[in-house]
Amino acid sequence: MVEEYHLKSWIEVAEKLSQGYTTVILPVGTVEAHGTHLPLSTDAIVPIEIARRLSEGVKALVAPPIYYGVTQTLSCYPGSIPVTKASFTSYLHDIFVGFAKSGFLNIIVINGHAGNTDCIKDAAERAYASSRIRVLCIDWWILCDDIVRKYYGVSSGHGAVEETSAILAVDEGLVKRKLYDSRQEILKRNGVWMFPSIGSVIKREENDVPDFDAGKARKFFNEVCTFIEGIVREFMEKASINPL
């Protein structure tokens, strides 16, 4: 059963805390272009699903997701919504502290967007210093890069095979196969930077292109979620025997 924080009354949240639910899982993403075939909220949709699956295996509540994040090089595409690093960091910090004040001890951040990572780290460090709350941040696509390579033979990119497969596993209807446009592909090369990006599918390897096999995608994403659950379980077990 998925324990969703935002659907409970404050009385129910208090009851969960008394029952040892001192951990929340916070999905964080952004709203930006992901090729021509994936939803703008891809970076939130995937963490939300990971969080929901996690809550069925660990003692934690799923917090309301944060859809907006730090979008930079893709902010030129219609629908992309950029948030500054300063405001995003402050916003995250206030949320972390808010959970601490409510009585939670641990926050598991499932992050779906690289532009958010430094802000999450900064906010977590500040929140711990002021409110003594632990924050575990998981950049899921980095942590699971070996699984991506196992199934698809490439490293994680943007709007390419790994994110396409993750969305296929969550909801096949969200992937607009007929809209995919290979002209949006751009190879990310070390030592080359651009603002804005001239492609909304950013590949790390030449053959990093979407695979629209939904069955394969589900197997891939199941393994991703199982692996992440193991990391979270280890964190929660160690946290329970160590001081804040």
Mean pLDDT of all residues in 149-165: 96
CA-based nearest residue to 157, from 203, 206, 207, 217: 203
Average pLDDT score over the chain: 97
For residue 156, what pLDDT is reported?
87
Q: What 8-state DSSP symbol labels residue 82?
A: B
pTM here is 0.97
Q: How far, in Å, CA of 216 to CA of 220, rounded?
A: 6
Residue 20 has φ and ψ, to the nearest 5°, of 95, 10
Which of the four pLDDT bands, split at 50, 70 and 90, describes residue 1? Answer: confident
- The DSSP bridge pattern shows strands 201-203 and 185-187 to be parallel
For residue 143, what pLDDT is reported?
97
Q: Copy the structure tokens of residue 9.
A: 């009354």
User: Do 12 and 102 form a contact (C-beta atoms < 8 A)?
Assistant: no
Q: Which domains does the chain show, CATH number per domain? A: 5-233 (3.40.50.10310)
Say yes or no to pLDDT of 217 above 90. yes
pLDDT digits (tens, 9 = 90+) for 45-99: 999 999 999 999 999 999 999 999 999 999 999 999 999 999 999 999 999 999 9
Q: How far, in Å, CA of 40 to CA of 48, rounded?
A: 14
Mean pLDDT of all residues in 127-146: 97
